[in-house]
């Protein structure tokens, strides 16, 4: 049996690291749907991941972008519904940071991934955050309407960002996307440091 | 409908969404959130609040512009990640000796490289920039004020640093003209002089 290497062990340790729960709900004054929409827009960690995924999908062209636009919100919704039925709120801050950092690495590297892999990444990212959002919403007594607001906002964000990147042809424009990916990675590395230090408040 | 038209519409929609989010009144919160915007603004302003950081970041852009492709984009892509690695070392409590001297030396060396229009191989250039990036990250990336949001601080810090590189690259475009090339080397001399001043301060 193959033993896990140091990288896998460190990743497992990161994801299992206990940190303070920072769940928060936003009150827009317009009802739970818009509260959910604002929740995503005001959660920079989630936003970074969605934008990094959109940039990655946009880099790989129309087919990959379409796959991400469809798979991300669908996975987010179904995982969110599962999360709503969980008895306790999950706290996977480490995994969340690692996920958007890895997406940033792929954007910075301009990784030539096939659309199926982009779709799988979108599904994994959507499922992770859907599960987290659903569990938190359930713990706070909120429900499907708020989750729908989050999901629709994720759809709009990935759609707009990917659509902005797909037609980019100029060399400098595509480099700008890669630079944005490196910024996401830098934020992720710093956040891992803050997490180790116990200062994370996302 | 032309591709250009569709692109303009997409950009307009994105800008409208950003404006909507920025202008949204944040008076009502489910619970009191404090220090959120402060964290971002603090991170954004931190790199530009110290001249040592500013001149070194701009010098990275200037040197990248002098080196041309692919260093022009490799250096600005690599620098934020390596700077963050330096910040992580600081957050983990790993000491880096002579941080202030290293920061001052970064301006001296990068200024000298621009002044001499030194063309190093890409890998060597990345290593040079990486070493200095770790010093800058270690010194500046961890200075979060109490109560502020670490994520927003980090985002602001990284964006400001990246934009400083952009300023350097943009200034570096003047080398297309003969006189501009000389002016660029003069800018390198200024960076180097500033670095010597910082080095004097760091070692005094």
Statement: residue B108 has pLDDT above 70: yes
Start-to-end Cα distance in chain B: 66
Residue A113: which domain range? 28-197
Q: Which two tokens stand for residue A183?
A: 């910024």
Q: For the whole model, what pTM was predicted?
A: 0.75
The number of distinct structural domains making up chain A is: 1
Q: What is the 3-state secondary structure (H, E, C) of A78-121?
A: HHHHHHHCCCCCCCCHHHHHHHHHHHHHHHHCCCCCCHHHHHHH
Q: What is the 3-state secondary structure (H, E, C) of chain B?
A: CCHHHHHHHHHHHHHHHHHHHHHCCCCCCCCCCCCHHHHHHHHHHHHHHCHHHHHHHHHHHHHHHHHCCCHHHHHHHHHHHHHHHHHHHHHCCCCCCCHHHHHHHHHHHHHHHHHCCCCCCHHHHHHHHHHHHHHHHHHHCCCCCCCCCHHHHHHHHHHHHHHHHHHHHHHHHHHHCHHHHHHHHHHHHHHHHHHHHHHHHHHC
The reply to whether residue A183 touches residue B150, judged by beta carbons under 8 angstroms, is no
The number of distinct structural domains making up chain B is: 1
Please check whether residue B51 lies inside any domain of the structure: yes
Please check whether residue B77 lies inside any domain of the structure: yes
Give the pLDDT score at A37: 75
Give the pLDDT score at B186: 87
Alpha carbon A66 to chain centroid distance?
17
Alpha carbon B33 to chain centroid distance?
29
The reply to whether residue B92 touches residue A191, judged by beta carbons under 8 angstroms, is no
Mean pLDDT rounded to a whole number for chain A? 80
pLDDT in tens, A39-93: 777 778 788 889 999 999 998 888 988 998 899 999 988 988 888 887 776 777 7
Q: Which residues of B touch A (CB under 8 A)?
A: 3, 6-7, 10-11, 13-14, 17, 21, 24, 28-31, 33, 73, 76-78, 80-81, 83-85, 87-92, 141-142, 144, 149-152, 154-155, 157-159, 162
Of the candidates B151, B34, B153, B168, which has an alpha carbon nearest to the alpha carbon of residue B113?
B168
Chain A residue numbers with beta carbons less than 8 Å from the beta carbon of B28 are 27-29
Residue B17: which pLDDT band, with cuts at 50, 70 and 90?
low
Please check whether residue A107 lies inside any domain of the structure: yes
Please check whether residue B95 lies inside any domain of the structure: yes
Please check whether residue B138 lies inside any domain of the structure: yes
Mean pLDDT of the B97-104 span: 83
Chain A residue numbers with beta carbons less than 8 Å from the beta carbon of B141 are 190, 193
How far apart (Å, rounded) are the C-alpha atoms in residues B112 and B63?
A: 10
pLDDT in tens, B36-88: 556 778 778 777 777 888 888 888 888 888 888 887 888 888 888 888 888 88
Tell which wins on pLDDT, B178 or B101. Answer: B101
**Within 13 Å of residue B122, how many CA atoms lie on the same side as its CB?**
10
Residue B197: which domain range? 39-203
Do residues B28 and A28 touch, judged by C-beta distance below 8 A? yes
Q: Is A78 exposed, middle or buried (0-12, 13-18, 19+ CB in 10 A)?
A: middle
Indicate the range of A86-95, A111-120, B90-99, B159-168 predicted with least confidence: A86-95
What is the ipTM, given to two decimal places?
Answer: 0.72
Please check whether residue A7 lies inside any domain of the structure: no
Structure letter (DSSP) for residue A198: T
Mean pLDDT of the A138-153 span: 82
Please check whether residue B3 lies inside any domain of the structure: no
Q: Helices in A109-170 by DSSP H: which ranges?
A: 115-139, 144-165
pLDDT in tens, B123-166: 888 888 888 888 888 887 666 666 667 888 888 888 888 888 88
Please check whether residue A190 lies inside any domain of the structure: yes
């Amino acid at each position: 049996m193959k033993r896990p290497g140091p990288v896998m062990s460190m990743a497992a340790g990161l994801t299992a690291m206990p940190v303070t729960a920072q769940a928060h709900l936003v009150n827009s004054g317009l009802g739970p749907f818009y509260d959910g929409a604002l929740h995503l827009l005001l959660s920079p960690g989630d936003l970074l991941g969605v934008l990094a995924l959109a940039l990655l999908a946009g880099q790989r062209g129309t087919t990959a972008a379409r796959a991400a636009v469809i798979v991300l919100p669908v996975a987010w919704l179904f995982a969110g519904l599962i999360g709503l039925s969980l008895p306790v709120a999950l706290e996977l801050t480490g995994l969340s940071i690692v996920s958007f950092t890895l997406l940033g690495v792929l954007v910075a590297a301009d990784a030539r991934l096939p659309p199926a892999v982009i779709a799988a990444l979108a599904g994994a990212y959507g499922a992770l955050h859907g599960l987290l959002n659903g569990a938190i919403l359930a713990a706070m007594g909120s429900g499907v309407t708020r989750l729908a607001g989050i999901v629709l906002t994720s759809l709009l964000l990935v759609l707009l960002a990917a659509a902005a990147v797909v037609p980019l042809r100029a060399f400098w424009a595509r480099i700008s996307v890669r630079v944005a990916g490196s910024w996401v990675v830098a934020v992720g590395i710093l956040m891992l440091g803050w997490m180790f230090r116990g200062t994370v408040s996302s | 409908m032309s591709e250009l038209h569709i692109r303009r519409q997409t950009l307009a929609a994105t800008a409208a969404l950003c404006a909507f989010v920025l202008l949204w009144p944040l008076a009502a919160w489910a619970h009191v959130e404090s220090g959120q915007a402060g964290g971002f603004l603090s991170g954004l302003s931190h790199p530009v609040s110290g001249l040592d950081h500013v001149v070194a970041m701009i010098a990275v852009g200037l040197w990248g512009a002098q080196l041309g492709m692919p260093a022009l984009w490799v250096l600005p892509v690599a620098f934020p990640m390596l700077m963050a690695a330096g910040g992580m070392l600081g957050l983990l409590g790993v000491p880096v000796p002579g941080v202030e001297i290293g920061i001052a030396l970064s301006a001296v060396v990068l200024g000298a490289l621009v002044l001499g229009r030194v063309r190093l191989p890409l890998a060597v250039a990345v290593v040079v920039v990486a070493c200095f990036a770790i010093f800058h990250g270690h010194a500046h990336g961890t200075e979060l004020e109490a109560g502020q949001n670490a994520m927003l601080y980090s985002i602001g810090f990284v964006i400001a640093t990246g934009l400083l590189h952009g300023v350097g690259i943009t200034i570096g475009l003047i080398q297309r003209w003969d006189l501009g090339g000389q002016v660029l080397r003069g800018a390198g001399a200024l960076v180097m002089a500033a670095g010597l001043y910082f080095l004097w301060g760091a070692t005094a």
